[in-house]
Structure 1
Amino acid sequence: MKHRSEHDLVVLGSGIAGQTTATTATEAGLDVLLVEKQPALGGSSAMSGGWFAFSGTPEQTEEGIEDSEDLFRHDLLEGGGHLNDPDLVDTYLAHQHAAHRFLKDHGVRFREVAISSGMSAARGHNSEIKEVLATLHAAFAAAGGTTLTGTAAQRLLTDDGRVVGVLAEGPDGPVELYGRRGVVLATGGFSRGTEMLKVFAPEQLAAIPYGGRGNTGDGLRMAWRLGAGMADMSFVAATYGSHPETGEEFHELLTAYYMGAIVVNTAGRRFVDESIDYKALGRAVLDQPGGLGVQVFDSRVRAQSHRGIPLKDMDTLQELGHLHEADTLEELAGLAGVAPEGLVATIERYNAAVAGKAADEQGRTGLCNGVGELTPIDAPPYYAYPAKALMTTTYCGVTVTPDAQVTTVDGEPIGGLYAVGEVVGGFHGATYITGTSLGKGAVFGHMLGAALAGTDPQRENSGEQRQDSSEQEEVAA
């Protein structure tokens, strides 16, 4: 006999998107059930580097960083090859400050603001993501939210075409979980879904598998059965910059190439403009022998290490034995398994280009996305970090309206079904900008949680909320 429970809202997935949705809605007065497939909470978010992309923040102002909503929008659309849905982009921009306030009001501290993949200004706000998730879940529980772990959603339940719940398999057998105001898919992508990768991106099977163990595409499949549309499925790509022995316990991803490093293959030759986004770099590296690209840099770049900050923590990488150091390029090449003659010749050509004596052989003009002044690699000791592409996230999925309602292949909303986070397609387009994954989860999750509870996400953090219960019911319907 199936166990049955009813709530105002059922949220599937406990990464930043699901957790933000659940916490926001619960604090606004809804009875919310948060369902997680794995025994532990957090999903892929808990394995991420903790970067959120926001513009116009106090943190940027304090550091004298010049940025704007217009520049952010330009970067999102340019990075996405203008293939992303502009309505979703505009919704993110319109609600980013509310999400930023929500996080700050819950004690989130951003440790650093930095420029990274796809940005024209420093807008990556770094957090201790596991602490963020734990804090939000504690607030969710304190507000009366209910959590089920080890419970895998299997099929969406409908009534006259409207999604009213989900059939799931729990530790004690099948359960039917009903949501009076609907079901929210926050189930992530399919970085661990071998079968789905075979269908949509078979070449990416050569990348190192990563991401949450539960990210096998369950939410996508359930929505697909109901006729949901899909977007960005052809843009799945791994992220470049992880050591071949990268493990799940530590977010090992180095982007020294955005600080002045070059990337070479085992022949010691460059093969790509290192300033492009790291998803595009991931595609390029997969085509190299062994799927390997070695980041090579000198003491100037090494000095920019920031311990504990993902993408920049060279100190920890060296302690792990993954970062090689040598006084000469020839010795470095031997340690990293790179042809010495090729590496020396490549560095000579690169330094000549930086000095303005020749054109750069890969057309590189800046450190990151065309921003930042190039520096020569000539200050020993020298360093090498062998790295591959890491399949962290798939950044594609169901089509949604700007208010996060899932739509069919014909663009019609599916009643009672919402989606936030990595399971959503259409926002990123052709590629991904650092921080917009966690950012998207927080922004749309906060917006949706507030809307389903009948509050205004732009005002709720100031304590101003709409109290009309009939209006709440209308929003929920």
Structure 2
Amino acid sequence: MDNQEADVIVIGAGIAGLSTAARAAEQGLGVVLVEKMSAIGGSSAMSGGWFAFTGTQEQQDAGIEDSIELFRSDLRKVGGYRNNPALVEAYMDNQLQTYEWLRAKGVSFGEVEISSGQSAPRGHSTRIREVLQLLHEDFTANGGETLFDARVTALDRNADGRVTGVIINDDTQLNAVLGVVIASGGFSRSRELLSVFAPEQLSAIPYGGPGNTGDGLRMGWKLGAGMADMSSISGTYGSHPETTDEQQELLTSYYMGGIIVNTDARRFVDESVDYKTLGSAVLTQPQALAFQIFDAPVRAKSHRGIALKDMDTLEDLGHLPSADTLEELAGLVGIPADQLVGTVDKYNAAIRGGEADEVGRTHLCNGVGELQPIEVGPFYAYPAKTLMTTTYGGLTFTPQGKVTDVDGEVIDGLYAVGEVTGGFHGAAYMTGSSLGKGSVFGCVVADTLASSYVGAVNG
């Protein structure tokens, strides 16, 4: 490192840190991006690559009807109305501008789908690793400096309590003129922190970036930062028990027409609710395991390479058993055949007769989509568990990204973006709003810092 001072220090090189760093660097700020792993990406690189935006060219091209009002309503509803309204409004105010900024950086958005927490298709698919690489290349081209294998072990404060820099690897001090931005991700890889904040989630499959051990959360906590949404943390339902870091599996066939049954072949939850709520429900079942059951018309909706609906790859892996009859299928996965047949018959009868569903299901996903009987073979069963992908609770912050303490007062010089923050999502989150939060508030924080720089110069 050529010097020991920068305008801005950003901790963590996932979507939140890269968006912050790239946006700040393009505005002429001297930015150092500090990453404790040996490469960029973090949990973002292991995600499905969905961003939640509305008013986009892709939506218009597909003839999708959506609006800011509906988007806001969906975010509040899926969050159990426990999200901070000011943070939701900040996202609404800046999401389209962020989408356009990403497109200007070369980001390509593919198909637009409806998914968890959405009542209109607004999940925009990307090749997320390409997105991260584009942002990092742009950051570097604008003079940004990246330090790899550099773990921030402490935050520096001056006598007035302002955060003025960081300590790296316990022995190197780096000062920040304008501020330090924590974008270090969550703590899905820390059993200690999960034991404290979400012990009921310990039986979920651990996932997320290998470096997601809660470093940033601990540092903010040590300075008295407040926390939000910690009691709502939940894994996502839909991953095969043998899913790996290299080959993530996450299927949401239940939003396409399938149902979910436990090891007794019985339904136990309304399959149309968000997949975080489903994740918690599955953890209460025997072996914390449940099977997605569906038929040929649902299987035909597979799209290879698109997260949440890639049944082709699952079948290639041998993780998607199929059979010509439900009885045979039950035998393949080891659940009671008579009960599975009875469960499906009851589901189909309710649909045909217009009767109340046994678990209260009325639509495919979040109040949208007509239910279809499961009746056309071959039939499929996907055994799946809850995957702890993100811990979406964390440090409290203002709509400008400034970290606040337990009394709601701003901790001067300290900002936070992405998974390490709490208050935006509330009880659960919508598909695409996690990566969306990282990019949207990353741009917001960068703009806030750039404004303070201009103000300091003019002052």
TM-score range, shorter chain: over 0.9
Q: Distance in 1 between matches of 2:248 and 2:457?
A: 43
**Structure 1 residue aligned with 2:226, among 218, 229, 233?**
229
**What residue number does 2:279 align with?**
282
Matched residue, 2:163: 163
2:289 corresponds in structure 1 to 292
Offset, 1:307: 0.5
- 2: CA distance, partners of 1:473 / 1:232: 38
The question of 1:415 aligning with 2:415 is answered no
Please point out which of 385, 393, 415 is paired with 1:388.
385
Distance of 1:290 and 1:342 partners within structure 2: 18
What's the offset of the Cα at 1:473? 4.4
After superposition, what is the alpha-carbon deviation per residue over 1:217-244, rounded to whole angstroms, capped at 9, x for unaligned?
Answer: 1111101111101101100101000000
Aligned length: 458
Rounded Cα–Cα distance in structure 1 between residues aligned with 2:141 and 2:358 = 58
SS in 1 for 2:186: coil
Residue 340 of structure 1, CA deviation: 0.6
Q: Distance in 1 between matches of 2:297 and 2:250?
A: 19
CA 1:474/1:345 → structure 2, altered by over 3 Å: closer, same or farther? farther
What is the Cα deviation at residue 313 of structure 1? 0.3
Secondary structure at the residue paired with 1:180?
strand
CA–CA separation in structure 1 for the residues paired with 2:456 and 2:44:
30
8 Å contact kept, 1:3–1:175: no
Pair 1:5 & 2:4 matched? yes
Q: 1:251: how far off? A: 2.6
Give the share of equivalent positions with the same residue, in percent.
61
Aligned to 1:463: none
Which of these residues, 250, 255, 268, is aligned with residue 253 of structure 1? Answer: 250
Amino acid aligned to 2:214: G
Aligned partner of 2:455 in structure 1 is 471
Provide the TM-score with structure 2 as the length reference. Answer: 0.98
Q: Deviations over 1:355-387 (max 9, x none)?
A: 125321001000001110000000000011000
Counterpart amino acid of 1:248? D
Distance 2:377 2:331 in 1: 16
Could you tell which deviates more after superposition, 443-452 or 203-212? 443-452
**8 Å CA contact 1:3, 1:174 repeated in 2:** no
AA aligned opposite 2:94 = H
Aligned to 1:303: 300
User: What code does the residue aligned with 2:102 have?
Assistant: L
Distance 1:148 1:246 in 2: 31
In structure 1, the residue matched to 2:395 is 398
Q: Which residue of 1 aligns with 2:215?
A: 218
Distance 1:364 1:470, change over 3 A: closer
* Amino acid in structure 2 at the alignment position of 1:168: I
Partner of 1:460: none
For the structure 1 residues 453 and 3, does the alpha-carbon distance in structure 2 shift closer, same or farther, using more than 3 Å as the test? closer
Instruction: Output one character per residue of 1:416-463: Cα deviation in whole Å (capped at 9) or x when no partner.
Output: 0000101110000011111000000000001211221239xxxxxxxx
> Alignment RMSD, CA only?
1.5
Q: Distance in 2 between matches of 1:391 and 1:473?
A: 45
Specify whether residues 7 and 201 from structure 1 end up closer, same or farther in structure 2 by C-alpha distance, changes over 3 A only: same
SS at match of 1:131: helix
Q: 1:150 to 1:474 in 2, by over 3 A?
A: farther
What is the aligned partner in structure 1 of residue 45 from structure 2?
46
Match of 1:466 in 2: none
Partner of 2:343: 346
Per-residue deviation, 1:3:
10
1:193 aligns with 2:190: yes
Change beyond 3 A, Cα 1:380–1:472: farther
Secondary structure of the structure 2 residue equivalent to 1:75: helix
Segments of structure 2 that go 5 or more residues without pairing to the other structure are none
CA distance in 1, matches of 2:454, 2:81: 40
Distance in 1 (CA, whole Å) between partners of 2:367 and 2:202 is 30
1:128 CA displacement: 0.3
The SS at the match of 2:153 is strand
Structure 1 residues 359 and 16, CA gap change in structure 2 (3 angstroms): same
State the alpha-carbon separation in 1 of the partners of residues 221 and 455 from structure 2. Answer: 31
Residue 76 of structure 1 corresponds to: 75
Q: Give, as a single letter, the amino acid of the residue that structure 2 aligns with 1:163.
A: V
Q: What are the equivalent positions in structure 2 for 1:326-365 lying under 5 Å apart?
A: 326-356=323-353, 358-365=355-362
Q: 1:399 to 1:473 in 2, by over 3 A?
A: farther
Q: Which residue of structure 2 lines up, in the alignment, with residue 30 of structure 1?
A: 29
Question: Using the alignment, how far apart are the partners of 1:384 and 1:109 within structure 2?
Answer: 33
- Corresponding letter in the other structure for 1:380: G
2:327 partner SS: helix
**Aligned-residue offset at 1:174:** 2.1
Distance 2:362 2:219 in 1: 45
Give, as a single letter, the amino acid of the residue that structure 2 aligns with 1:95.
Answer: N
Hey, what does 1:62 align to over in structure 2?
Answer: 61
The 1-side partners of 2:385 and 2:119 are apart by: 25
Counterparts of 1:91-170 in structure 2, within 5 Å, are 91-159=90-158, 160-169=160-169
| Structure 1 Cα separation of the partners of residues 111 and 450 of structure 2 | 33
* Distance in 2 (alpha carbons) for counterparts of 1:470 and 1:206: 49
Counterpart contact for 1:126–1:309, Cα < 8 Å? yes
Deviation at residue 40 of structure 1 after TM alignment: 1.7
| 2:430 aligned with 1:433 | yes
Partner of 1:180 in structure 2? 177
The TM-score normalised by the length of structure 1 is 0.94
Say if 1:407 and 1:351 are closer, same or farther in 2 by CA, change over 3 A.
Answer: same
User: Which sections of structure 1, spanning at least 5 residues, go unmatched?
Assistant: 456-468
Change (3 A) 1:436 1:210: same
